[in-house]
């Protein structure tokens, strides 16, 4: 019987059940496979894909300027002065090179090795994917003394390639409108875009990138114009990282060399902070997960500094070597490689895998850094002293931490008494609410779903860990911080292990007032400095309790913003007795209200904490939370007029 059933089902599954997606249809059906998502990040990715093609021309030595714009209709324009996409007939497709590139996946000049020796767009899908996900696209090419153009709709050509005016110029211009059928909310972030454009300019010395837009981006009104051009390349990027920090060297160390068609650039400058800020790039792609080039850089840095320290007498024969952690404290550095055949992990291209690159980078960095230290002994002395101070602090911190751990049993085996744990033991299904105050903690405990929601109330404002990063005894000696570490269950600092996290949603829930904002910032500072991998894993969230309760008769609504409150008031024009309650504390809500508005997965609103630009995040925490007063004063003065919801 079972065999007959199998045969019957088998005969019902035939070739007609197999769907074949023609051309670029697959991109429109599964856009996330090609651009990651269809939210704002996906929108930005479209711009980056087109920009990457222009940058490839720059890396090949043919492009010196890229102009980008977004107009009031949302039309995006990316124009370069490169060679221009070929327009002659392609031997395999029978179509023009332009139409082939814009309508065929994995078609481009990046596979044969002739047109591009170095390229960031490894997979050759950029132009065609952007075309597929645009409601309208027009490609214009200036090449061979003429202008050529072709228009498309949702990836399909709507015109032939048209040859028009004579021109002495050369280059490619792409005009495109993202398809609202694919992207439900077409809105761009000014800071994210300009930071990316600036980064690309840093990585390509001599390339000018100009961005203009009369269209408002994220509530910014009026014309926007930014131009980025850096003669110093990645050395300028390192200076930018250290712009608000006290540096050990006046000028960054910079070295560049080409070995076996692999270009290696490195820039290093130490500052007096306790954090490491190192960026790695391969063919202008930010390899956020590092790779072989970063490994080679770190190995060379540690080896060269140790060799120089012993040779110069800074480290005696009976003293231990500096370790990587010692030489990277206070380090701001960029390692950038450009190679002919990069091997990335996946389409996201966040980690470089070429094994041979490690030895190339290690030898180049060692050669350049050795020469730099020998030629600059006074600077070398300052760098070595910084590393030795880090070594002594690390050893003292280790002893202090061991003492505190023994004293307070922070090994994760005991949970804090104030924690109201949940019944669920699967971390992926469990949530931890870190709640401001005992009163709100009591309401949260009563209103929660005990099966999967745990509550940890905090008493008052926790320690500002930014000011005591080198004093783990103070950090671990703080009762509320110990409670958070024990509740999360994965250790902290260098011993943090994300695989041991007990809850995959850790939610900061504070009052909607100045004190609540301060407490939230202090908690965020702790997680960023001592458990950054928790944020990287996407486990940290911020609860969004309502700001207002609006009641008209028996009808009750909650507003999570001023705009929602105003809309509700407008909806109730003509009704009498409308009552508006402004919530400033979570304790003002009873348990049922807290559940309904802030804790119920079906109705709540939450923000996930992400790190999109590590340099900017590092800078903000250092500026606002450290002991240095001058940078904080400047920040406040610069942003005073943009403050909203000021409590006085």
Residues annotated as catalytic are 436, 511, 513, 515
Cα distances (Å, whole numbers) of residue 36 to 27, 32, 55, 501: 11, 4, 21, 26
Q: Which of 212, 177, 195 is nearest to 66 (CA)?
A: 212
Q: Cβ(500)–Cβ(491) under 8 Å? A: yes
CA–CA distance, 102 with 108 (Å, rounded to integer)? 9
CA–CA distance, 611 with 383 (Å, rounded to integer)? 29
Q: Which of 514, 485, 512 is nearest to 500 (CA)?
A: 485
Q: Which residues are CB-contacts of 502 (< 8 A; sequence separation ≥ 6)?
A: 427, 430, 432, 487, 488, 489, 490
CA–CA distance, 485 with 525 (Å, rounded to integer)? 14
CA–CA distance, 327 with 270 (Å, rounded to integer)? 10
Coil vs helix vs strand at 584: coil
Exposure of 392 by Cβ count < 10 A (0-12 exposed, 13-18 middle, 19+ buried)? exposed
Cα distances (Å, whole numbers) of residue 117 to 299, 419, 444, 613: 27, 58, 60, 29
CA–CA distance, 415 with 358 (Å, rounded to integer)? 44
Q: How many CB atoms lie within 10 A of CB 243?
A: 11
Q: How far is residue 297 CA from its own chain's centroid?
A: 22
Query: What residues form DSSP beta bridges with 557?
Result: 550
Q: Cβ(496)–Cβ(530) under 8 Å? A: yes
Tokens for 248? 């050990």
Element (H, E) at 142: strand 134-143
Longest dimension (CA), the chain: 87
Q: Cβ(136)–Cβ(158) under 8 Å? A: no
Tokens for 339? 């190679």
């Amino acid at each position: 019987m079972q065999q007959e059933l199998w045969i019957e089902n088998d005969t019902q599954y035939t070739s007609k059940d197999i769907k074949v997606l023609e051309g670029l249809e697959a991109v429109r059906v599964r856009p996330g496979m090609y651009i990651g998502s269809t939210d704002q990040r996906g929108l930005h990715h479209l711009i980056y894909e087109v920009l990457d093609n222009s940058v490839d021309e720059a890396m090949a030595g043919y492009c010196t300027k890229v102009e980008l714009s977004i107009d009031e209709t949302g039309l995006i324009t990316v124009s370069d002065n490169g060679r221009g996409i070929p327009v002659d007939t392609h031997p395999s497709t029978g179509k023009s090179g332009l139409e082939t590139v814009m309508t065929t996946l994995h078609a481009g000049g990046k596979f044969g090795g002739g047109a591009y020796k170095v390229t960031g767009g490894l997979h050759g899908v950029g132009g065609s994917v952007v075309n597929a996900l645009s409601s309208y696209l027009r490609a214009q090419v200036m090449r061979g003394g003429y202008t050529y153009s072709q228009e498309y709709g949702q990836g399909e050509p709507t015109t032939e390639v048209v040859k028009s005016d004579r021109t002495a110029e050369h280059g490619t211009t792409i005009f495109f409108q993202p398809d609202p059928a694919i992207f439900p909310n077409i809105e761009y972030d000014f800071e994210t875009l300009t930071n990316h454009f600036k980064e690309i300019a840093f990585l390509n010395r001599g390339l000018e990138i100009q961005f203009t837009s009369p269209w408002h981006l994220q509530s910014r009104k009026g014309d926007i114009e930014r131009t980025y051009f850096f003669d110093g390349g990645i050395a300028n990027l390192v200076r930018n990282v250290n712009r608000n920090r006290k540096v050990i060297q006046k000028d960054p160390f910079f070295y560049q060399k080409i070995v076996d068609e692999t270009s290696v650039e490195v820039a290093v400058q130490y500052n007096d902070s306790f954090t490491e800020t190192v960026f790695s790039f391969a063919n202008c792609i930010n390899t956020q997960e590092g790779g072989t080039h970063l490994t080679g850089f770190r190995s060379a840095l540690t080896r060269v500094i140790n060799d120089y320290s012993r040779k110069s007498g800074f480290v005696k024969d009976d003293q231990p070597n500096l370790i990587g952690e010692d030489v990277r404290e206070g380090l701001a550095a960029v390692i950038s490689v450009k190679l002919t055949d990069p091997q990335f992990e996946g389409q996201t291209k966040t980690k470089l895998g070429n094994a041979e690159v490690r030895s190339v980078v290690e030898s180049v960095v060692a050669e350049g850094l050795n020469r730099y230290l020998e030629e600059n002994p006074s600077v070398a002395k300052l760098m070595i002293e910084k590393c030795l101070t880090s070594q002594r602090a690390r050893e003292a911190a280790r002893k202090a931490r061991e003492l505190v751990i023994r004293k307070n049993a922070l090994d994760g085996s005991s949970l804090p008494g104030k924690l109201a744990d949940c019944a669920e033991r699967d971390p992926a299904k469990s949530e931890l609410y870190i709640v401001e105050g005992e009163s709100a903690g009591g309401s949260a405990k009563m209103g929660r779903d005990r099966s999967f929601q745990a509550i940890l109330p905090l008493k008052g404002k926790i320690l500002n860990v930014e000011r005591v990063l080198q004093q783990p005894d103070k950090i671990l000696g703080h009762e509320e911080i110990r409670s958070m570490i024990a509740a999360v269950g994965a250790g902290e600092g260098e011993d943090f292990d994300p695989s041991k996290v007990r809850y995959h949603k850790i939610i900061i829930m504070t009052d909607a007032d100045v004190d609540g904002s301060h407490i939230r910032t202090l908690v965020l500072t702790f997680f960023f400095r001592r458990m950054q991998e928790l944020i990287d894993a996407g486990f940290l969230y911020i609860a969004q309790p309502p700001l207002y309760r609006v009641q008209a008769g028996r009808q009750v609504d909650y507003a999570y913003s001023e705009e929602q409150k105003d809309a509700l008031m407008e909806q109730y024009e003509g009704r009498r007795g409308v009552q508006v309650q402004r919530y400033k504390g979570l304790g003002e809500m009873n348990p049922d209200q807290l559940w309904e508005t802030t804790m119920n997965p079906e109705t709540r609103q939450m923000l996930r904490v992400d790190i999109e630009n590590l340099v900017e995040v590092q800078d903000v925490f250092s500026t606002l939370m450290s002991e240095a007063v001058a940078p904080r004063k400047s920040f406040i003065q610069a942003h005073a007029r943009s403050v909203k919801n000021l409590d006085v």
